[in-house]
Chains A and B, each alone.
Chain A
Amino acid sequence: MAQAIRPLIETQYAEQVQAFEHSPWFQRLEQGQASLQEYDVFIFNLCQTHLKSPQILAFLYAVAPPEAAPQIKHNLLEELGLDEVAICHPDLLYQLATAAGFDRDRQTHLAQAAQAQIRQLCTDPLLFGTMQELGLSVLLEVTCFEWMLSRLAGRIGQTLAEHRGLSPASLTWFDHHSEVDIRHAEEGLDSVEQYLAYYEIEAEDLETILDITFRENIFIKRYFADLPLLAGSAHENR
């Protein structure tokens, strides 16, 4: 099963990353064509997306099969800075926000916006009938983010250094998720496989949950939601 499943998931992840990488907003940011405000909207959205990663990982830890639980627990502790490296990732995001000139009000707004996303996750009517399906969908999204960051975080950090003038120190979050972090992404795929095996999820159901989870481009949705539509972005969803 694993041999057939892994390429299927990787293909979906690759499609998501490719659509993101080629999206008009990614191009505009990377080529230095965006305005200062547009870079800041992107920074805000990125921080908002990842500030609550510990909470999401805690949910995944709760539903993880025994084989995957240690790895997810390790990732959770790493996010919180409670591992041997002792760097709290949300703190790195606030460091980025501060470097971008976000004042106290804007950082408070950022914290509230991130919390609002957790609230929305809890209050949205659930379309899935079981926790195992919801858990799989969340796991797929989280591991897809890891997969993307392991390939693009360095480029995004470089973009913000070059075109937004941010210092290397303020971009440490990107270093922690950069291309060298391929191992994390691979471990994420291991977790998905372990989850599928533990909950005995059939290939057909996986395909449907992949389809549901990635019917929109998750990166464009999270990172560019507040930015106006650009020409060519109407069909960028997949």
Chain B
Amino acid sequence: MRIVDATLFALQIPFVEAFAHSVRSRSCSDSIVVRLRAEDGTIGYGEAVARPYVTGETVEGCLRFMERTLWPAVQATDYFHWAGQDAIAWLGSLALPIEDSANAGTGVVAWNAARCGFELALIDCLLKSAGVSLGELLPPRHPVTYSGVITASSIEGAVKHAKRFKQFGLPHIKVKITGEADRERLAAIRAAVGPEVSLRVDGNGAYSVESAIATCEALAEFQIDSAEQMIPRGDPQDLAMVQAASAVPQMADESLITLADAEALIEAKACRGFNLRLSKCGGLGTTLAIAELSQAADIRVQVGCQVGETAILSAAGRHLAAYLPEISFCEGSYGSLLLREDLSRRPIHFGHQGLAKPLKGPGLGVEIQDALLEKYAQQTISLSAKAA
């Protein structure tokens, strides 16, 4: 089946409240939604979240790569419906171009967000056309329990968030840390939520090797279940040094963008956990491949999310999290808890105790409201097979 046109929506949906970590603070989402239309009229939606400090992609760069590289490849391909064959192989058949020679030297690690946007839109479109849910390809193995994430605001603000999450019965909480008053922050949060709630920290690369080791040691008394990306992306040996010196399990996030990154981290015994994020890792196909590697290497996985993602990425993340044999933690599906309006007709966000049901509808299982795409689009690019 051929894809006959594509529309790219660069969105700005305001947040209910600002979200900050060590690298930046944001008050609105900046997702790019990819809408594809197949020759039979079926519409599919995908989502890309460009993060310059993660993959090196910007919204503008992503749009350019989508228009110049991905769209020509997609419109030139005759896609096959999924007909019960191996899910991983079928997802592999949707492989998209990796490189863009015109953008060489831009500092982009990988065009993974852009590829994720198109890949998810293809999956949604082709599965909807066949009346199949992604849950049939990736059958859920367990319920999904989402974590709360506490932004790097004041300690007073962090405690307020912690109390909200406690009221919602969330069993897992991730705390963004910056190197400023980390101990006081964790002490206050632990006091607010009690001993039963699992706490973990995320440094977003704000620490040196030495300060990461010292911070993990200082925070260990608060029963920290993992420390995510304490040092910047770089030589896996550096992360291995932190892991070797710390009892707190280290989790790779920005250090883990490509399959080659995963192999290098495993080889270096750099960490005990991988944070898998679809937009960061290039979509479902590559994320599943990384998950397979991690399983073989006995590395635990967390299914992460993008701050400000809409129901599209959240739905794909839900399918992934429910399908993977074992995950340590799951993030995402914040929907209208963070966004002033989410794109799906029915809410995607989790309920009490962070629990969420599997999505059963065709494709990704969410019904996207085009009117909201129009409402929040800062830029819209229409691409058709004829014009390309």
Interface size of A in residues (CB-CB distance below 8 Å): 25
Stretch of A5-13, A22-30, A203-211 on the interface side:
A203-211
Stretch of A73-81, A107-115, A124-132, A150-158 on the interface side:
A124-132
Choose among B337, B352, B353 the residue with the greatest number of A CB atoms under 10 Å from its CB: B352
Question: How far, in Å, is A220 (CB) from chain B's closest CB?
Answer: 10
Ranked 10 nearest A-B pairs via Cβ: A125-B351, A208-B163, A127-B168, A129-B352, A208-B167, A216-B16, A124-B347, A129-B169, A126-B351, A212-B164
Contact mask for chain A residues 99-137; partner B; CB cutoff 8 A; 1 contact, 0 none: 000000000000000000000100111111100010000
Q: Contacts of A124 on B, CB cut-off 8 Å?
A: 347, 349
Choose among A133, A221, A228, A237 the residue with the greatest number of B CB atoms under 10 Å from its CB: A237
Interface presence of A183 (CB below 8 A) = no
Interface presence of A229 (CB below 8 A) = yes
A35 to B245, CA, bound (A): 65
Q: Contacts of A216 on B, CB cut-off 8 Å?
A: 16, 340
Q: Contacts of A234 on B, CB cut-off 8 Å?
A: 14, 27-28
Contact mask for chain A residues 159-194; partner B; CB cutoff 8 A; 1 contact, 0 none: 000000000000000000000000000000000000
Q: Contacts of A207 on B, CB cut-off 8 Å?
A: 163
Pairwise interchain contact B350-A128, C-beta atoms closer than 8 A: no
Pairwise interchain contact A125-B356, C-beta atoms closer than 8 A: yes
B167 partner, pick from A205, A228, A229, beta carbons under 8 A: A205
**Chain A residues within 8 Å of B, Cβ to Cβ:** 120, 123-129, 133, 204-205, 207-209, 211-212, 215-216, 221, 225, 228-229, 234-235, 237
Contact mask for chain B residues 326-351; partner A; CB cutoff 8 A; 1 contact, 0 none: 00000000000100110000110111
30 contacts between A and B (CB under 8 A): A125-B349, A125-B351, A125-B356, A126-B351, A127-B167, A127-B351, A127-B352, A128-B167, A129-B167, A129-B169, A129-B353, A205-B167, A207-B163, A208-B160, A208-B166, A208-B167, A209-B167, A211-B163, A211-B164, A212-B167, A215-B16, A215-B17, A216-B340, A221-B340, A225-B341, A229-B14, A234-B14, A234-B28, A235-B27, A237-B17
Q: Contacts of B351 on A, CB cut-off 8 Å?
A: 125-127
Pairwise interchain contact B160-A211, C-beta atoms closer than 8 A: yes
Q: Contacts of B341 on A, CB cut-off 8 Å?
A: 225
Q: Return the chain B residue nearest A225 by Cβ.
A: B341
Q: Return the chain A residue nearest B170 by Cβ.
A: A127
A160 to B258, CA, bound (A): 58
A215 to B161, CA, bound (A): 11
Q: Contacts of A225 on B, CB cut-off 8 Å?
A: 341
Question: How far, in Å, is B176 (CB) from chain A's closest CB?
Answer: 18
Q: Contacts of A125 on B, CB cut-off 8 Å?
A: 347, 349-352, 356
Question: How far, in Å, is A20 (CB) from chain B's closest CB?
Answer: 16
A19 to B310, CA, bound (A): 27
A177 to B163, CA, bound (A): 35
Contact mask for chain B residues 245-264; partner A; CB cutoff 8 A; 1 contact, 0 none: 00000000000000000000
A205 to B168, CA, bound (A): 11
Q: Return the chain A residue nearest B349 by Cβ.
A: A125
Question: How far, in Å, is B107 (CB) from chain A's closest CB?
Answer: 29
Q: Contacts of B356 on A, CB cut-off 8 Å?
A: 125
Question: How far, in Å, is A140 (CB) from chain B's closest CB?
Answer: 14
Pairwise interchain contact B347-A128, C-beta atoms closer than 8 A: no
Chain B residues 161-192 with CB under 8 Å of chain A are: 163-164, 166-169
Q: Return the chain B residue nearest A221 by Cβ.
A: B340
Given contacts A125-B349, A125-B350, A126-B351, whether A133 and B16 have CB atoms under 8 Å apart is no
Question: How far, in Å, is B40 (CB) from chain A's closest CB?
Answer: 30
Q: Return the chain A residue nearest B341 by Cβ.
A: A225
